[in-house]
Amino acid sequence: MKKAINIAKRELAGHFSSPVAFLFLGAFLFITLFIFFWVSAFFSRNIADVRPLFQWMPVLLVFLVGALTMRMWSEERRAGTVEFLMTLPVPSFQLVLGKFLACITLVILALSLTLPLPFTVSSLGDLDWGPVFGAYLASIFLAGAYISIGLYVSAKNDNQIVSLIVTVLLCLTLYVIGSSALMPYVGNQGAEILQLLGSGSRFESITRGVLDLRDVYYYVSIMGIFLSLNVYALERLRWSEGGQSRAPAMWRNLTALLCLNFLAANFWLQNVSALRVDLTESQMYSISEASRNYLQQLQEPLLIRGYFSDKTHPLLAPLVPQLRDLIKEYEVVSKGKVRSEFVDPRENPDLEEEANQKYGIKPVPFQIPGRHEVSLINSYFDILVQYGDKYEVVSFQDLIEVKFRGESDIEVRLRNPEYDITKTIKKVLYGFQTTENLFQSLSSPVTLREYISPAENLPKALSTFQESLKNVTEEIKKISGDKFIIETLDPGDPSSAIAQEIDEKYGFRPMMTSLFSDKTFYFYLLLESQGRVVPIPLPEDLTDESAKRTIESALKRFSPDFIKTVGLVEPPKPEGQQFNPMMQQGSKGFRILQERLGEGLTVKTVNLDNGTVSEDIDLLLLAAPQNLSEKALFAVDQFLMKGGTTIVLTSPYAVSRTQSDLSREEVTSGLEDWLKKYGISLKKELVLDKSNEHYPVPVQRDLGGFRVQEIRQVPYPPFVDVRSEGMNQDSLITSGIPQVTLNWSSPIEIDAEKAKPFQVTELLHSSKESWSSDVLKLIPNFQAFPESGFPPGDYSPSLLGVVLEGSFPSYFQGKDSPLVKKDETTTPPVPGPDGETPQEKEVISGTIERSPESARIILFSSNEFVTDQTLQISASSGTQQFLNSLQLIQNAIDWSLEDRGLLSIRSRGSYNRTLYPLEENLKLKWEYANYSVALLGLLLIYAVYRELQKRKRAYHLALIQEITHSNGLANGLAKAGV
C-alpha cells in the first residue's frame, strides 16, 4: 500500500506541476456554481437543500473524469515509460491503485471546494445535513466508478483523444441506462430493471438520503471489475508473444473469476433490503414508530394494493419503485398482518372493472412526448388500503408534490408517502371499530355517573328519556366485560352536600325549563376513568337513538381507536353568494381546510344558533367567526365547560378585496368578552414583519410620463413568515413545522392576572424585526415608504398563537341561560286548521359553571390564513408553504384529541424546508460571496502547492549541499593523506 501511495503522490505532483489540475478544479467549480445559481435558479427555487449542486453531478463527472484519466496510461504508453514501470519491483495492482488514488484525491479536492454551498444553504434555511453527507459520499463512489472505467480504457490504447471519447461514451451509456429518458419506451417493470443497472438512478437514491448497501456495492463492483481488467491489461504487457508460460491463463482465469464475483454479488444483495441507513433528520424513508403502532392494532389482515400502469408519465415512473419498496416494508414490519399486491389493471380486465366500479379508481390521462408526436395515455397511479369492509384510496394527487421552476421545468417527488399511507390505514382501522372493540382497547373501567332528580321532579320529556337512557346503559354494560360501571345519585335539594360538591367540582347547577319556573331539577351525566372526566351533553332530541349515540360518542373520547369528529363553524356568507359557488371574491371559504382535515377526521359544519353543540363533536373549530349571537356563544362556552377543546381563528380585522383595492375592515367575532374573561385580548392592529412572504400586488410603473399598472410579487409585511426561532419547539403543535405564514394577523395580549389559573403556552411569535400598525390600506405604498411599503414602527415580537389549559369558569356563571330566555321578537304560535294552537317545544337547560382540567382554548390571531383564497394565493407562487398552515391546524387538532401518532411524520414533505425571506440585494451578496470563496479556495490550493514545492526545493538544495560538503571534506582528507 505504501508503494501505491508513493505512486499517487508522484501522479498528483505531475498534475499540479502543469496547469492540468488547476484547469480541472477551475472548470469543475465554474460549471457547478453556474448550474447551482443560474440553471437551477437556487433563490427562485426557494428550497433549503443542495439538490441543484448534485442534480447534474453524474453527467458533469463523466466529462471531467474522462479528461482527467485520458492521459494516465495513454501518455505512459505513448512515451514508452510503461515498459519501464513494468520492470520496477512494484506489483501491477499497486501501480493501478496508485493512479486510481491520485485521480480520486483530485475529485475529492474538487468536491471539497463546493462545501461553502451547503454552509450557505444552512445559513439561509433549515438544511437537513443527512442527504448532504449522502450526496458527497455518492459523488465520491460515482467518481470512483468512472475513474476505474477511464483508467482501463486509457490502459488499452496510446491515444489520449480516443481514451477520452471511449470513456465518455461508456460512462454516459451507464448513466443513460437508468435515466428517465428510456422509461416511456420500456414500461415500469423494464424501467425498474434498467434503474438497477444505471449509475444515475443509484446516485439519486443515495442523494435523497438513503444509504443502501446495494447502491454502495454497485459502485464498488464497477470499481472492482474495471480495476481488475486494468491490472490484467498491464500484466499482458509483461508476456512475450510466443512464450509458453502458464501466467497468461492464470491471470485470465483469476480476472474472470474476480469480475464474475463482483457482478454476482449484486444479484445476491438485491434481496437484502435491511442493510440501509436513513440519513434524513426526520427519518423520512423509514417506517416510523407511529406507523408500527397502528399496524400492531390490526385484528384482521389489511390489504395494501398498488395500482400502477406499466406505461405511465415519465415523471411518475421513477416514483413507482419507491412506493413498491415502502409498501413491501409495511408488509415486513407488520409481521404478517399486512398483505401487499401490485397490479396493472390494463393487464387484468376483471381487476380493472373492480377498481372502477367498486373502489372508484379511474385512470388519469397524461400527455407524453414521443419521438414524432405527443401521445395520450390513460395511466393508473393509486393505492388501495382495505380492512374488512372498509377501504380508502390514495390517488396520485395525494401522493405527489410538484415544484415548478419554469414552463417546461417541473420537479415531481413523493410528498410524504408514509404519512399518506399510515393516515389511510388509521382511517380504515378506526372506521372498522365497534363499541365492543372500544372496551377491549380500554386499560381501565369507565364509570358513568348519573346526577338525576327523582322522576316526579323531572319534566315529562326527561322522565321518558331516563327510561331510554337506562335501557341503553344496561345494554352497553352487558358487552363491556365489567369495564362499564353505572352510578346513579340524586343531588336532592340544591343545598345538599352532593349538590354543593358537583357545583364546586363540575359546575353543575340546578336546571329549569323557563326563567319563571320555580321548579328546578338535576339531569347531568358524566364519564370518568383514571381521573379524566367527560361531561355528557343532553341531546337536542330526547329519543332512544340519541341516548345511545350520546353515550357512545362520550365513550369514544376515552379511546384513540375511533375516528374523531371536528365541528367547523364558518362565518356567514355575504348576501347573494350562498348559492353561487363561482363567486369566491370576498367570501371566506374553508373548502381546502375541510378537505385536508377530512383525510383523517370527520368534519361537520356546525350551526350554533340553537345554543347547543351536537353530542358527537369532539372538537370545535371556529374559523373566522363573525357576530356570534348570545346563544352561539353559550354553545361555545358550554362545549368548553364539558372538557372540550375550542380552536379559534380570529382577528379584529377582515380583508376586503376588490379588483383595484385591498383594505382592512373591522369585524366583531362575538368572542371578545368571552376571551377577555380568561385573560386573552386581541389588539386592534395588524402585525407587519420584515420576515415575510411575497404577495402579488398592483404596482405603478412610469414609462416616460405614462403610468402602467402591473402585478408583481413583492415582499409583503402583513404576511408574517414565522420560522423555527419564532415557534415553541417544546410544543408538539409547532415543533415539527419548519415554517408557517400568518396572513393579516393581530397581536395577542395576555392579562397575566386573569390567565394565572391556567397553563399558558405561547406557540408563535413574529420576528424581532416586526411591528404593529392600524394601517387601513393594505396595498404597499413604496413611494411614501420605500423600505417596506407601510408606515414604520417600533420593532418588537408579537404573540400570534397561544394555548390555555385548565379548569375554566363559565362566562355565564351566575347568569341566566340564553336558552330559556324568551325572544321578544318571536311570533306567537298560529292556530292550526283545527283551531288548536300547537304546543311550544319545552326547552330544558342548565349552565355548567366550571370545566374539568381537560378543557383547552387554542387561539391563532388571523381570520385569513387558512381561507381558500389566501391558500390559493400562496400556492400560485409555486411553493408548498401553504401546506404548513394546514399542518398547523392538523397538529393542533391531533394534539388536542390526544391522537398524536401522526404528528411525528406529518412534516416530512420534501419541499417543507424553505429559505428564509431575503431581499434581492442580500441574495446577490450571498451569490457573489460564494464566487469569491470558490476563487479563494482555488488560490489557497495554488499557494499550498507553491509552498510545498518551495519546501521540496529547499530540501533538495540542502541535500545537495550536504552531499557536496561531504564530498569536499572527503577530497580534502584524501589530499592530506589521511
Query: Do residues 157 and 269 both lie within one domain?
Result: yes
Identify the residue with better confidence: 339 or 81.
339
Query: Do residues 309 and 207 both lie within one domain?
Result: no
Query: Do residues 410 and 457 both lie within one domain?
Result: no
Task: Report yes or no on 911 lying in a domain.
Answer: no
Task: Report yes or no on 72 lying in a domain.
Answer: yes
Task: Report yes or no on 588 lying in a domain.
Answer: no
Cβ burial, residue 636 (10 Å; 0-12/13-18/19+)? buried
Residue 667: band (very low, low, confident or very high) from pLDDT cuts 50, 70, 90: very high
**Residue 837 pLDDT greater than 60, yes or no:** no
pLDDT of residue 459: 85
pLDDT of residue 102: 93
Residue 824: band (very low, low, confident or very high) from pLDDT cuts 50, 70, 90: very low
Query: Do residues 298 and 152 both lie within one domain?
Result: no
Residue 40: band (very low, low, confident or very high) from pLDDT cuts 50, 70, 90: confident
Query: Do residues 359 and 467 both lie within one domain?
Result: no
Encode pLDDT of 189-236 as tens digits.
777 788 888 898 899 889 988 899 999 999 999 999 999 999 998 888
> How many CB atoms are located within 10 Å of the residue 362 CB?
12
Range in 360-364, 427-431, 722-726, 845-849 the model is least confident about:
845-849
Q: From CA 743, how far away is CA 650, in angstroms rounded? A: 11
Number of domains in the chain: 4
Query: Do residues 6 and 142 both lie within one domain?
Result: yes
Long-range contacts for 633-637 (Cβ within 8 Å, ≥24 apart)? 633/670, 633/671, 633/674, 633/811, 633/818, 634/812, 634/817, 634/818, 634/819, 635/608, 635/610, 635/611, 636/608, 636/671, 636/674, 637/674, 637/810, 637/811, 637/812
Query: Do residues 425 and 467 both lie within one domain?
Result: no
Residue-number span of the structural domain to which 473 is assigned: 446-562
Query: What are the cell numbers at 505?
Result: 367540582
What one-character-per-residue DSSP string does 369-393 give?
A: E-SSSEEEEEE-EEEEEEETTEEEE
Encode pLDDT of 902-937 as tens digits.
777 776 665 567 888 888 889 999 999 999 999 999
Query: Do residues 152 and 19 both lie within one domain?
Result: yes
Query: Do residues 267 and 363 both lie within one domain?
Result: no
**Which one-letter amino acid corresponds to residue 442?**
L
Task: Report yes or no on 372 lying in a domain.
Answer: yes
Question: Which of 432, 455, 470 finishes a domain?
Answer: 432
Task: Report yes or no on 75 lying in a domain.
Answer: yes
Task: Report yes or no on 965 lying in a domain.
Answer: yes
- Check residue 388 and give left, alpha or beta (phi > 0: left; psi -120 to 50: alpha): left
Query: What are the cell numbers at 88?
Result: 520496477
> How many CB atoms are located within 10 Å of the residue 481 CB?
12
Distance of CA 264 to the CA centre of its chain: 38
> How many CB atoms are located within 10 Å of the residue 420 CB?
21
Task: Report yes or no on 100 lying in a domain.
Answer: yes
Residue 245: band (very low, low, confident or very high) from pLDDT cuts 50, 70, 90: low
Non-local (6+) Cβ contacts of 703 within 8 A are none
Encode pLDDT of 560-612 as tens digits.
667 788 999 998 876 544 444 333 444 578 999 998 898 878 899 999 988 88
The CATH number assigned to the domain holding 470 equals: 3.40.30
Question: Which of 406, 432, 458 finishes a domain?
Answer: 432
Query: Do residues 142 and 198 both lie within one domain?
Result: yes
